[in-house]
Structure 1
């Protein structure tokens, strides 16, 4: 560790001296470059601190964020995009940031997510997850381009002792970098309950009829599977298995007390770095083949399948319409390509542009969520239909999750291929796009395929 404790103590003391009353507080963020560290071992070691943990990785880019604790929390229940951005700008304006590195994912970083639909009546399943909830971790490990960074965020008050705070940070750092071993994932699903399968199929039949006689073109309907394990789930081994089995996905975990929302989503919503914006359309799904020849045939069939191409084009046109007024140099390929994953393959189209001044990543997320791949077309009519007819409370499933930093970088993904783990139980979620000629049995089978990535690492 190249920063010494005395420098941290000095920075904290300077921050304390700026406070005028006992009720004042100020966020101090200190980032330093460190030697190599294992993000999963860091995450596992944090379990002993009994604080909420956050995990995010883009495995294809070898980029990791691992957060521990909560130095500051941005919760919004109404006007969530506006309120969250206002709180974010406010904390940045007041914070003291010591970060000599202009590296995405360093400095002050907020990680979190939000509900798929804040207007949907909430159930007890998601009671620990707010409509919009972003956390600035107390301690954050960042891995990017083979380099490692460690950030400490702490709210200081007028009567705090800088030396005691610095000593506490050093103890925490020593504990978290103790190279805690990752246990073997020995979870076994002992019970599996498919929630209302026949009612779900009936809802697909009803939706096809409603589409035929309305202006609706597509409605995404999701369903839930509930499982019980042989023991309480340990999150680190699950993340490790997801990293090994889903190498082209975002692997995430958002812990709230004893609940943890975990997944491996291939679907980026938006990435922003140095004002360069990237959104991706990932819609249209088929399984992988058992041989190279079978895999190639399936991919070619997917490229030529009218239903999947239509579903894909819905998303492409929505992204274009959503961001064209917020960026310049907009570029969209005319034809999709195949994006292969371990269990599935998708139609894929990247969309790039340059974000205009005075706009933020929240503006783009607001425009893009929900994509037709998770909501439907037209957006508002499909959302209303889902709100009124879908059989579950999606909570954070299918919603924007991600991170942003104090250097105006950030990335959000769509929380699919996911599970809400609650000690020795979990709910898994999957959905599919329903159009006027959808077959309920085929759509049901598609959701079974989409459940596989999570079910396989949970011992199912």
Structure 2
């Protein structure tokens, strides 16, 4: 590949250079399908990130220079990205929905099981079994990649990242050559063929009804007016390539963030999420409250009536108000000139959501780790108040969300952006697990909320036969 030859020449020119710190080498190249190129490469981790909006850059990240796997260490990203180099490093990764929760296979159950939470008893004989399905993801994993492929408009660049200190120059140069030598040309993605699978929902429908009934009880509502309950739908027997599924899914998700992570060959996590956690451009911050859902019909006139119904529905307006009120409260110590728009309709292929846009100017020295700590998880995926809603989810939800509803994205000095990892799927050998959640508030009905969960997975489910 000509691009690799040119970047190797730049790499060799650094042998006698004394530059320290982060260095990015780049050359123009030609790649048509970023996901096809990504799937062909032998390097891991393999990461794909394309923020909402076709004008946004598209990224593939391969390999790693180093990574952060402790939420407490995200502050190091800020330290590394505030250096004075022309190029700043970009970290790609995510936080679990509940980074403080131990993995399911390793939880300390003493004092937690058996337990009662508003009249529902956990079964002391049924603690979570088996190995952690999120093994390799962890509570936090942000990667500084060795290789990046970047598309900005019509321009595509191949980048090699290096980080020099006083003692590692020869080792970094050798690692750079090794990574470049491993790259191969793009190839067509494997076809996505119809699958034969068996679906298992967790919680099942009866458990779901019990959970919703508990959350909507008047005594519970007095202290926790919103809990976002969720469900995993495991399709056993489905065997798919994660990047083939993401490519097809993305065709139906124009107004969404598209991203995926494959830290090792046998496990992947992909999403086409409509929800932004935040976008930071220098000191300027963009966030949003996305909560309140109704279906689309495919008929323009009926969709307009459904949108009007959503805008006027007191239950959905309450759900959205709880979200944006919490976000504004959490931003208050970090920013000024905070503005909030009136709710509007975000139209997706099969669903419509209530969405309020939030903008603010950050105080000096406010970093991404502070934004993540303040905003994640939002009431759109957890509930309100945060602490009591999370306590209920930890005690009563019968599976480990892992990175579902987590915060996934890219952090850099100039611009950082994270999406909330809803409308997502975990791909394991012989199984695909789909996730969906619904905000439960006063007036929520179990059957209607169950139907909403089905609507939220219908898009990707239709791709799997």
TM-score over 0.5 for the pair: yes
Partner of 1:443: 449
Structure 1: runs of 5 or more not aligned: 19-25, 100-106
Partner of 2:116: none
Partner of 2:113: none
Structure 1 residues 161 and 128, CA gap change in structure 2 (3 angstroms): closer
Partner of 2:103: 122
Where 1:396 maps in the other structure, the secondary structure is coil
C-alpha separation in 2, matches of 1:236 and 1:362: 29
Cα offsets for 1:392-437 (capped at 9, x unmatched):
21111111111112x3311011110111111221221111111132
C-alpha separation in 2, matches of 1:294 and 1:131: 43
Partner of 1:56: 49
C-alpha separation in 2, matches of 1:93 and 1:331: 27
Is 1:32–2:26 an aligned residue pair? Answer: yes
Is 1:8–2:11 an aligned residue pair? Answer: yes
What is the 5 A alignment of 1:48-447? 49-62=42-55, 63-76=57-70, 80=71, 82-86=72-76, 88-92=77-81, 99=87, 107-123=88-104, 124-154=132-162, 158=168, 160=170, 164-165=174-175, 167-173=177-183, 175=184, 178-195=185-202, 196-209=204-217, 212=220, 214-231=222-239, 233-257=240-264, 258-333=266-341, 335-405=342-412, 407-447=413-453
Structure 1 contact 32–149 (Cα < 8 Å) conserved: yes
Structure 2 contact 7–25 (Cα < 8 Å) conserved: no
Cα offsets for 1:249-285 (capped at 9, x unmatched):
0111111212111111000000011322100111110
Alpha-carbon RMSD across the aligned residues, in angstroms, is 2.4
Structure 1 residues 163 and 129, CA gap change in structure 2 (3 angstroms): closer
TM-score by structure 2 length?
Answer: 0.86
Structure 1 contact 8–30 (Cα < 8 Å) conserved: no
C-alpha separation in 1, matches of 2:15 and 2:314: 61
Structure 1 contact 222–392 (Cα < 8 Å) conserved: no
Partner of 1:22: none
Cα offsets for 1:349-397 (capped at 9, x unmatched):
1111222211012212211112111111111111111111112211111
Structure 1 contact 52–255 (Cα < 8 Å) conserved: yes
TM-score by structure 1 length?
Answer: 0.87
C-alpha separation in 1, matches of 2:455 and 2:66: 39
The Cα shift of 1:218 comes to: 0.8
Structure 1 contact 337–349 (Cα < 8 Å) conserved: yes
C-alpha separation in 2, matches of 1:189 and 1:210: 43
Aligned length: 429
